[in-house]
Amino acid sequence: MCGIVGVIGQRDAAPLLLDALKRLEYRGYDSAGIATVNGEGAMARLRSPGKLRNLEKRLDVVPLPGGTGIGHTRWATHGAPTEANAHPHLAAPVAVVHNGIIENFRELRAKLKAAGATLTSDTDTETIAHLMAHRLASGEEMKAALLGTLGELEGAYALAFAFEGQPQLLAAARSGSPLAIGLADDSVMIGSDAIALAPFCDRIIYLDDGDIALLTPSKVEIFDKTGAPVDRPAVAVPVQISLAEKGNYRHFMAKEIHEQPEVIARTIGHYLDIGEGTIRDSAVGLDFADYRRVSITACGTAFYAGLVARHWFEQIARLPVDLDVASEFRYRAQNFPRDELALFVSQSGETADTLASLRVCRAAGQTIATVVNVPTSTMARETDVALPTLAGPEIGVASTKAFTCQLATLAALAVKAGIDRGTVSAEEARAYVDALVEAPRLVADTLHVEPQLERIARIVAPATTALFMGRGASYPVALEGALKLKELSYIHAEGYAAGELKHGPIALVDDSVPVVVVAPFDDLFAKTVSNMQEVAARGGRIIGVTDARGAEAMAGTAEEIIVVPDAPAFIHPLVMTIPLQLLAYHAAITNGTDVDQPRNLAKSVTVE
Ligand code: F6R
């Protein structure tokens, strides 16, 4: 999603803004721009479609002077990714950058046009610049003009403003989209997240929803939506964030795939009491005996983690689970019983649909628990119980380590639910805990299949369609494998419950279609193998992902067999995911796509 930066202080703004924007590239974007104000108050702006290097080239030719400025990477919503639609948008003396969507922008545009304004873009954002400029022109004070402008907006926004004629002032506001202020000795900054600010600042202030901020080089004033001054704490830049670098890896995604043993270990270490063979009550902070059912709501990869969790909760704790993608959740007729736990799963903690669903459940009085990776995110702050995944910053747009850490967390929760509800004996709990303790080692061992996946990826890369199938907890793993392949390599890929293939999708199968069969040797293995035979009989090129025992049964039918280490059935989803991530990664490299920032995608989807 769009990235926002701003700076005011002693340093040359444009190179700093560019550098900070580069750190937001991971969020996904398709155009970029910067506006600066020099010491005399003159404003200058440069914008460019495409990647930041295009903007950088222009800046080399036409440097933007001044120590004050705002910058933006835009992920197009209203209007194509052209220069005219790129931010900052201007209506003298105002320049504005925006993340989010202004839902009443049509009415606002019509009103502004009727009042004689000339709009030069298709965006919703440009209306904000005009509304603000109009209020300032009619003599309103800065704070009043800001509050008045925001009062006219419906929708979600994080905003940063610069002003021609005012080199000592920036303004910021947030409602529904995250925004932070960074503090350094010689400057004050604005950023969409701490990752943009970390290298330049030592402390960070996270704005609350509804806050506005006025920034000078030496002062930050924050007000709530009524205009009353508020104090928001400044916290030290998290060390982990300042470490968000690629290291020796070619891509963040490669680094994040290989970090999984370590981060899964960190996550389970948080939840498990290994000595006692149980789950730490203090880490979970929930008693599942209080709930009759659980509703799990999430998007994309996080939703697939929820789908795996449904198996675990139902099998281990006999706890019924309702599962929804967040973009649909709010539109179902529901009665939100108080004895249902509303559980959300989100890496970023900012996904608009998941956040909106969380708020609906909160308003209905349910207990809210959130499995979340970014501890400072809006969801982490608005939930009753935050259940951290300790994956560290995930920069690659395609989720990898956050997914397996979500699985590790949800697995621990399911065991805790079993203990709380009396469906799991102390001995069984210890067996589950022991299995989870094995996960980091088994994931590390599984990473050794990478050279084989590199070769198989070259077979898969030319395909136009690929199918993934699995049963039971391997079904969501198949869905996740298909999502990874399609988003990274742009190959059309679909995941199916293995038994569903013959109800339609098998019509797609011919000898050009790779079919990835996710089948550890478990209770469902024989059934999945039958489905695999049906595909093989129609010429499908089978790539089996299984363990040593499964490999024997697949031999002769599968063209390729990826053998993962034998693992307890409980943690199969964690282990089986790894080869699928590697397949997608290497297929993307073979196809020459942008691995860390696939086209059209955004890391943190802050619009509905
Ligand atoms: C896919 C991917 C997305 C996210 C989804 C939810 O690789 O990363 O499908 O899982 O956008 O994002 P979060 O978890 O931040 O709510």
Over residues 274-305, the pLDDT tens digits come to 989 999 999 999 999 999 999 999 999 999 99
Each residue of 529-566: pLDDT tens digit? 999 999 998 889 999 999 999 999 999 899 999 999 99
Domain range summary for the chain, segments of one domain joined by +: 2-242, 253-424, 447-595
DSSP E strand stretches across 129-270: 155-163, 170-175, 180-183, 187-191, 203-206, 212-216, 219-223, 234-236
* Residue among 590, 570, 574, 595 nearest 264 (CA): 574
The tokens of 207 are what? 């704005």
CA 400 / ligand 1 centre spacing (Å): 10
Q: Which residues, judged by CB distance below 6 Å to any ligand atom, belong to the binding site of ligand 1? A: 299-302, 346-348, 351, 354, 398-399, 483, 487, 604-605
Best CATH choice for the domain 447-595 from the list 3.30.1340.30, 3.20.20.70, 3.40.50.1000, 3.40.50.10490: 3.40.50.10490
CA 299 / ligand 1 centre spacing (Å): 6
The pLDDT of 571-582, averaged and rounded, is 98
- Rounded alpha-carbon distances, angstroms, from residue 247 to 89, 255, 258, 395: 36, 8, 12, 13
436/277 Cα distance (integer angstroms): 11
CA 585 / ligand 1 centre spacing (Å): 17
Asked whether the beta carbons of 64 and 46 are under 8 A apart, the reply is yes
171/181 Cα distance (integer angstroms): 11
Residue closest via CA to ligand 1's atom 9 equals: 300
Residue closest via CA to ligand 1's atom 10 equals: 301
- Rounded alpha-carbon distances, angstroms, from residue 89 to 159, 160, 195, 365: 11, 11, 24, 41
pLDDT greater at residue 502 or residue 562? 562
Residue 243 in this model has a pLDDT that exceeds 70: no
CA 399 / ligand 1 centre spacing (Å): 6
Residue 240 in this model has a pLDDT that exceeds 70: no
Residue closest via CA to ligand 1's atom 16 equals: 346
CA 326 / ligand 1 centre spacing (Å): 11
Q: What is the model's pLDDT at position 603?
A: 75
The pLDDT of 187-201, averaged and rounded, is 90
Superfamily of domain 253-424: Glucose-6-phosphate isomerase like protein; domain 1 (3.40.50.10490)
Tell which one of 177, 299, 490 to mutate to probe ligand 1, the residue whose CB is within 8 A of the most ligand atoms.
299
What percent of the chain is predicted at pLDDT more than 90?
85
237/202 Cα distance (integer angstroms): 6
CA 302 / ligand 1 centre spacing (Å): 6
Residue closest via CA to ligand 1's atom 7 equals: 398
Residue closest via CA to ligand 1's atom 11 equals: 300
Each residue of 108-124: pLDDT tens digit? 999 999 999 999 999 99
pLDDT band of 194, cuts 50, 70, 90: confident
Indicate the pairing of strand 155-163 with strand 89-91.
Answer: unpaired
Residue 144 in this model has a pLDDT that exceeds 90: yes
Asked whether the beta carbons of 195 and 240 are under 8 A apart, the reply is no
Instruction: Indicate which atom in ligand 1 lies nearest the CA of residue 303.
Output: 10
Q: What is the model's pLDDT at position 241?
A: 62
Tell which one of 251, 308, 351 to mutate to probe ligand 1, the residue whose CB is within 8 A of the most ligand atoms.
351
Residue closest via CA to ligand 1's atom 3 equals: 300
Residue 309 in this model has a pLDDT that exceeds 80: yes
Tell which one of 605, 606, 607, 608 to mutate to probe ligand 1, the residue whose CB is within 8 A of the most ligand atoms.
605
Instruction: Indicate which atom in ligand 1 lies nearest the CA of residue 400.
Output: 7
Instruction: Indicate which atom in ligand 1 lies nearest the CA of residue 347.
Output: 14
Q: Which residues are catalytic?
A: 2, 603
pLDDT band of 244, cuts 50, 70, 90: low
DSSP E strand stretches across 384-522: 385-388, 465-470, 492-497, 514-518
Residue 604 in this model has a pLDDT that exceeds 90: no
Other C-beta atoms lying within 10 Å of the C-beta of residue 278? 18
The pLDDT of 345-361, averaged and rounded, is 95
Each residue of 436-452: pLDDT tens digit? 999 999 999 999 999 99
* Residue among 8, 5, 11 nearest 33 (CA): 5
Instruction: Indicate which atom in ligand 1 lies nearest the CA of residue 604.
Output: 15
Stretch among 148-152, 243-247, 355-359 having the lowest mean pLDDT: 243-247
Residue 248 in this model has a pLDDT that exceeds 90: no
Instruction: Indicate which atom in ligand 1 lies nearest the CA of residue 605.
Output: 11
Whole-prediction pTM: 0.82
294/546 Cα distance (integer angstroms): 31
Each residue of 509-530: pLDDT tens digit? 899 999 999 999 999 999 999 9
Q: What is the model's pLDDT at position 468?
A: 97
Instruction: Indicate which atom in ligand 1 lies nearest the CA of residue 302.
Output: 10
CA 348 / ligand 1 centre spacing (Å): 8
CA 301 / ligand 1 centre spacing (Å): 5
Residue 76 in this model has a pLDDT that exceeds 90: no
Other C-beta atoms lying within 10 Å of the C-beta of residue 270? 18
Residue 32 in this model has a pLDDT that exceeds 90: yes
Residue closest via CA to ligand 1's atom 6 equals: 299
Residue 225 in this model has a pLDDT that exceeds 60: yes
Instruction: Indicate which atom in ligand 1 lies nearest the CA of residue 351.
Output: 16
The pLDDT of 55-74, averaged and rounded, is 95
231/606 Cα distance (integer angstroms): 25
Stretch among 16-30, 154-168, 270-284, 398-412 having the lowest mean pLDDT: 16-30
Residue 333 in this model has a pLDDT that exceeds 80: no
Both ends of the chain: CA-CA distance in Å? 11
pLDDT band of 26, cuts 50, 70, 90: confident
Asked whether the beta carbons of 207 and 150 are under 8 A apart, the reply is no
The pLDDT of 262-280, averaged and rounded, is 94
Instruction: Indicate which atom in ligand 1 lies nearest the CA of residue 301.
Output: 10
Best CATH choice for the domain 2-242 from the list 2.120.10.30, 3.40.50.2000, 3.40.50.410, 3.60.20.10: 3.60.20.10
Please indicate whether the domains covering 2-242 and 447-595 agree at the CATH topology level: no
Longest dimension (CA), the chain: 81
pLDDT band of 567, cuts 50, 70, 90: very high
Other C-beta atoms lying within 10 Å of the C-beta of residue 267? 28
Residue closest via CA to ligand 1's atom 8 equals: 399
pLDDT band of 386, cuts 50, 70, 90: very high
Residue 89 in this model has a pLDDT that exceeds 60: yes
Residue closest via CA to ligand 1's atom 5 equals: 300
CA 304 / ligand 1 centre spacing (Å): 10
Tell which one of 348, 399, 605 to mutate to probe ligand 1, the residue whose CB is within 8 A of the most ligand atoms.
399
pLDDT band of 313, cuts 50, 70, 90: very high
* Residue among 251, 560, 558, 586 nearest 447 (CA): 586
Where are the alpha helices (H) located in 511-559, listed in sequence order? 525-537, 548-554
Q: What is the model's pLDDT at position 1?
A: 75
CA 551 / ligand 1 centre spacing (Å): 32
